[in-house]
Chain A
């Protein structure tokens, strides 16, 4: 642990920013008295926000540690101001107690508040149930499908019915893969104009509908990791009227881009699921504002440079976001929903969905925070990102706002 004195800082306390002050941070706590051997930082009026919580992180190790490692992921989290996150790897399904304990041992060493999703089926194959009871007792906070297909409807029924005994939440990326049929972009003007295979909206809405119906029937809480269109939101709101406990998130890039941005064929914007129309993007913003979308997810998926430095259609889908989530979103998000709600969408709400403690800044208490200047700018370059990846559609752009550093579990990390 190290001690830090933040001068001229405006901490976010009890739902609002305080006037500029000095914060003494010692051994992971905000203390009143001055601290010895402290690093002094002049924040120049920057904000001290409660550290963020990430929904959707895949660090690839051990199966693809040639791409990214846990160490890379933990460093990216600290650099981006995250104190915790919900972890689920498509490459490394936690489908048994041994895998769970192996991952637990690794994340424990990070001193970050990382929660784990267990697999619904062995190897995410949608054929054999994973040992969900044992995984639940072992500490997973919910169950996910690794963004794979959930198998047959019957298998989904059995998975939810069996998993209901754990009283944990089920996390799905809603996608009917037979309708996706290899599509990479929204099925609409772009796919028609550029002659690319499209992903029709029903590929998402049919899956949303099936999952909602089955969750209602089985009585299990549900979370949609990422929705991309107005129609999905409508279905979810209707299910809530029937008292289903269902939460959903939208990922950062679906709030920043729409299908028109695809015309320049940036392989970094090859995302799964694809960004959709400007109207959908606005509907997602409206959902975030009115609260029908509970959180904004990171969907941090590292992809090697060589797998992105190809033509759009051959690029591996996915984008990283941990290091740049805050500057990428803060200005527009706080303008649209207000500062207090913006903080909750990036920190409190995702933590609640993952069953993790919520970060807050209070004198005399342990504190995890991120120092963020909305006045300064960030130039997004390869150096912004940890490890050997840089797969963000914001690469090369200048963003309003800059992370000066984070103080998480008593460790100061430069932004």
Chain B
């Protein structure tokens, strides 16, 4: 049984403050373990986790796999290339076959919004969303929140600015839901073709079209990766104009707090959404985000499979 109010981690929209705090608090303990000489604990021994990635992923899949191994779970990676999925097997059939192998936890990434929910509705396994369409990427948001709290203390009252392609970003959405639940002030900034149009569905956020105003007084700035396909899709004129008006550069940060944290979910387009001197500068916590990602995923896996973990 899950140690959280929720059985699955499908997203952060609607997840309680208490569940989020529990994941962050538990992650703190796992983060300490990662600094030990022996980084492995037996918490999930005997538990089988399948990483079901329908989309290419390097860092998220590796991070999950490492978290599972650090918790002593048995791990199986299921990539779609060359699999039964490519041969036309339906999602439901794939799930049933995996279930038949007595899998306990499914970590899933898919280009379609709602696939983790579909699996949760049709399976007894614990489902953990590793990114679905442009909907949610809850563990990325949790690791962002963890990193901010690690550096600045409680998120409540902190000013977080997210810059870039909000409309197509699952990272942004999960961050919006999670951070506002914890009482942070979230500001969104980007070209209007890359922002959600219906702002009434984002009740507790501020919108800003000028990046200099958006970063003013921010405690942390999260730059999102700009997909080059956005240009081919006519959503933007050029990378050059994007960089000139929305890139996080030394000039843009002149009006920001000296202590502002610079974050990015990776991989970075250097010189587009983030200049190299900023990505590699003293305020950047991008690599710490990566380390913290393992601790957050350990925490989520541990708590969701809490019943067995406590045995």
Contacts and interface: CB of A to CB of B under 8 A. Distances in A.
Nearest to A157: B193
B72 interface: no
A360 B231 CA distance: 46
Contacts of B234: 127-129, 154-155, 158
Contact of A161 (B192, B241, B244, B245): B192
A27 interface: no
B192 A165 contact: yes
B235 interface: yes
B193 A130 contact: no
Interface stretch (A9-17, A131-139, A321-329): A131-139
A165 B191 contact: yes
B192 A164 contact: yes
Contacts of B235: 129, 158, 162
Which of B193, B237, B241 has the most A CB atoms < 10 Å from its CB?
B237
Contacts of B209: 165
B115 interface: no
B17 interface: no
A131 B240 contact: yes
B66 interface: no
A130 B192 contact: no
A134 B192 contact: no
A133 B245 CA distance: 8
Contacts of A128: 231, 234, 237
Interface in B145-201: 191-193
Contacts of A130: 237
B227 interface: no
Contacts of A129: 234-237
Interface string A137-168: 00000000000000000110010011011000
B238 interface: yes
A161 B240 CA distance: 19
B171 to A, nearest CB: 22
A133 B244 contact: yes
A155 B193 CA distance: 11
Nearest to B237: A129
A130 B236 CA distance: 9
Contacts of A127: 234
Nearest to A122: B237
B236 A134 contact: no
Nearest to B232: A128
A376 B231 CA distance: 59
A134 B193 contact: no
Contacts of B240: 131
B168 to A, nearest CB: 14
Given A127-B234, A129-B236, A162 B244 contact: no
Interface in A303-344: none
A161 B234 CA distance: 11
Nearest to A127: B234
B254 to A, nearest CB: 18
Interface in B209-252: 209, 231, 234-238, 240-241, 244-245
Contact of B241 (A131, A154, A155, A164): A131
Interface string B241-269: 10011000000000000000000000000
Contacts of B193: 158, 161-162
Nearest to A163: B192
A134 B191 contact: no
A158 B237 CA distance: 10
Contacts of A133: 237, 241, 244-245
A118 B241 CA distance: 15
A127 B233 CA distance: 9
A101 to B, nearest CB: 15
B209 to A, nearest CB: 6
A82 B244 CA distance: 37
A164 B193 CA distance: 9
Given A133-B244, A133-B245, A134-B244, A162 B192 contact: yes
A162 B238 contact: no
A158 B240 CA distance: 18
Contacts of B236: 129, 162
A130 B231 CA distance: 11
Contacts of A155: 234
A144 to B, nearest CB: 16
A131 B238 contact: yes
Interface string A4-48: 000000000000000000000000000000000000000000000
Contacts of B245: 133-134
A94 B231 CA distance: 20
A356 to B, nearest CB: 26
A124 to B, nearest CB: 14
Contacts of A158: 193, 234-235
Contacts of A165: 191-192, 209
A132 B193 CA distance: 13
Interface string A361-403: 0000000000000000000000000000000000000000000
| A-B pairs with lowest CB-CB distance, top 3 | A129-B237, A131-B241, A131-B237
Interface of A: 122, 127-134, 154-155, 158, 161-162, 164-165
Given A155-B234, A158-B235, 5 more contacts: A127-B234, A133-B237, A158-B193, A162-B192, A165-B209
10 contacts: A130-B237, A131-B240, A133-B244, A155-B234, A158-B235, A161-B192, A161-B193, A162-B235, A162-B236, A165-B191
